[in-house]
Amino acid sequence: MPKDFLKNAKDDYDVIVIGSGLAGLTSANILARQGRSVLLVEQHYKLGGMATWFKRPGGHIFDISLHGFPYGMVKSCRRYWSQEIADSIVQLDGVRFDNPMFSLWTSFTREDFTRQLIEQFGVTQEKVVAFFDKARGMNFYDDQTTTTRELFNEFFPGREDVIRLLMEPITYANGSTLEDPAISYGIVFSNFMSKGVFTFQGGTDKLIKQMEAELIKSGVDICINCDATSIIVSNGKIESVEINGKGATHAIKCGAVVSNANIRQTIFDLVGEEKFDRNFIDEAKSVRLNNSSTQVYMALQDDDVLDVRELGDLLFSSTAPNFETEALLSRDVTSRTYSFYYPKTRPQNQPRCLIVSSTNANYHDWADLPDREYLASKQDLCETTLDALDKYVPNVRERVVHVEASTPRSFKHYTHHPAGASFGTKFEGLAVSRALPQQIEGLYHAGSVGIIMSGWLGAMNYGVIVANEVDSQLMNNCSRSTVAAEKAVAEDLAAG
């Protein structure tokens, strides 16, 4: 008889959180700390969503998205999780760029970027300072009509090399393009420019295990292998959630739902469009999914040690003559971001050096390939990546003991994200996400929407915003907009 993973769940909760990405985990933890009864359900057998990892024989542990985040993660982890988690966040040693336009090292701070722009790119200090000040002053409730391209043209007209330096790492970090609203670029860029790029020492597996321990300490009931199939709405209010616990399906009552699923999945699959106003549904249908990714995971021999002083922690490498969004997404890969994992990444484990190559990708370039062609394309991705990496890690083919690839189909399979979207939705998804509580009382969404709410820090802080709004709704028996809480988080980030 199949195991029922919901057998220990109660019949009624204040809040059910659907999905355990960083936004879902953070919402659940905050609400439980505020005294709410919380059930967290996750369809996968591990918590974390895209913040995840996998193991391979030989003691190799590969991180999917542990590449780098802003210093703000320290404050958010300390405030909403624990001092122990915050203390494990460390700064990367260096970031490299190598492309036909320029090659340089940077600490990825405002001071260093200012110096590089003035000394290497010949931009006046006045222009650089004005650009940084404008980007830092942006908030996600500001003007949405100015595009990132227009922002760059205001300060650096005709300087495609400067645009590449400023844009390439942010496109890698959250999928944003030159055609997206400037605020979606400016906010993320300013966050990184605060004090540089940081990572979690100990690996994603250690982080998620520590978060799980905090959730249990806070009183959250956690059910993995449990797929929420329907959110039940009655008279415009949340009533319950139907959940498949593999062994049986349960309808569990609740006062509010926080969906960490994709916003389109939440509306059209979990609730059903008939429960919403027609104008709202029209807006929801216009929300575009963000792009997906491919990755190649490579493990070196046990005694093969890479030198961070030669390679850095992150390397933005490209053979493309110019920075173009379509080129970044093409299956004919010309741009790769290499994440180098040294023994310092997991000091508690045996010394290992690993490399993960990441590229942005279109789901539809991979989705309909016949199985034989799909497997051949994955193998070709591995082979061409090894060819490209040999420039930086000589004789890498002879040095690796394990190589495998993931594609947008892999991300869709494991996360259930539509089209394998790595970064949620484009910017218009944020307004739809924020408006859910006005459509259905007790229905909230916390996840990657609007780019600026993507990535580790963005998702976590959106979870904070939504948790506070849910608590207010349960206390006052009414749903409110999340704008006030969003402004508070924005001001907190702006303060560093």
What is the tens place of the pLDDT at every residue in 198-253?
A: 999 999 999 999 999 999 999 999 999 999 999 999 999 999 999 999 878 999 99
Query: Is 24 among the domain residues?
Result: yes
Q: Are residues 315 and 333 in the same domain?
A: yes
Q: Can you give the three-state secondary structure of 283-320, one letter per residue?
A: HHHCCCECCEEEEEEEEECCCCCCCHHHHCCEEEEECC
Q: How far is CA 480 from CA 34, 338, 436, in A?
A: 18, 43, 10
Question: Are 29 and 23 within 8 A, CB to CB?
Answer: no
Provide DSSP, 78-104.
Answer: HHHT-HHHHHTEEE-S-EEEESSS-EE
- In a domain, residue 86? The reply is no
Distance of CA 203 to the CA centre of its chain: 16
Alpha carbons 241 and 177: distance in angstroms, whole number: 37
Low-confidence ranges of the chain (pLDDT < 50): 495
Decide which of 377, 392, 418 is a domain's last residue.
Answer: 418
Note the pLDDT of residue 487.
Answer: 59
Q: Are 399 and 303 members of one domain?
A: yes
**Does some domain include residue 115?**
yes
Tell me the pLDDT tens digit for each residue of 280-297.
Answer: 999 999 999 988 999 999
Beta bridge pairs of residue 440? none
Q: Evaluate whether residue 104 is within a structural domain.
A: no
Q: Are 151 and 182 in contact (CB under 8 A)?
A: yes
Residue 59 lies in a domain: no
CA distances 1 to 4, 145, 246, 247, 248, Å, are: 9, 56, 10, 8, 10
Q: What is the pLDDT of residues 125-179, one digit of tens each?
A: 999 999 999 988 887 666 678 899 999 999 999 999 999 999 988 888 777 889 8
pLDDT at 407: 96
Verify that 392 and 347 share a domain, yes or no: yes
Query: In terms of domains, do 393 and 434 share one?
Result: no
Output the pLDDT for position 189.
87
Whole-angstrom CA distances from 28 to 39, 221, 266, 324, 426 are 8, 9, 17, 39, 25
Predicted pLDDT at 1: 57
Structure confidence at residue 81 (pLDDT): 98
**What pLDDT sits at residue 486?**
59
345/200 Cα distance (integer angstroms): 8
pLDDT of residue 495: 47
The pair of structure tokens assigned to 224 is: 């993995």
Question: If you compute the radius of gyration of the chain from its CA atoms, what whole number of angstroms results?
Answer: 22
158, 193, 228 — which closes off a domain? 193
**pLDDT score recorded for residue 205:** 95
81: in domain: no
**pLDDT value for 247:** 79
Which of 162, 193, 224 is the last residue before a domain boundary?
A: 193
Residues 427 and 454 in one domain: yes
pLDDT value at position 478? 58
From the list 27, 124, 126, the residue with the least C-alpha distance to 76 is 27
Nearest alpha carbon to residue 300 among 342, 264, 253, 354: 354
**Measured in Å, how far apart are the chain's first and last C-alpha atoms?**
53
CA dihedral angle for residue 41, residue 44, residue 46, residue 48, rounded to 10 degrees: -70
* Host domain of residue 123: 110-193
Residue that is written with structure tokens 């049986």 in the block: 248
Q: Name the 3-class secondary structure at 117.
A: helix
Verify that 310 and 407 share a domain, yes or no.
Answer: yes
Whole-angstrom distance, CA of residue 294 vs CA of residue 299: 17
Assign residue 217 the CATH number of its domain: 3.50.50.60
Q: Is 270 in the same domain as 299?
A: no
Verify that 427 and 283 share a domain, yes or no: yes
Q: Do residues 295 and 283 share a domain?
A: no
| 3 residue type, one letter | K
Burial of residue 442, with CB atoms counted within 10 A of its CB: 0-12 exposed, 13-18 middle, 19 or more buried: buried
Q: Are residues 284 and 298 in the same domain?
A: no
Domain count, the chain: 3
Looking at the structure, tell me whether residues 428 and 400 fall in a common domain: no
Q: Give a yes or no: residue 65 inside a domain.
A: no
- Residues 92, 77: Cα–Cα separation, whole Å: 18
Which neighbouring-strand residues pair with 238? 233
* 140 domain residue, yes or no: yes
Residues 300 and 385 reside in one and the same domain: yes
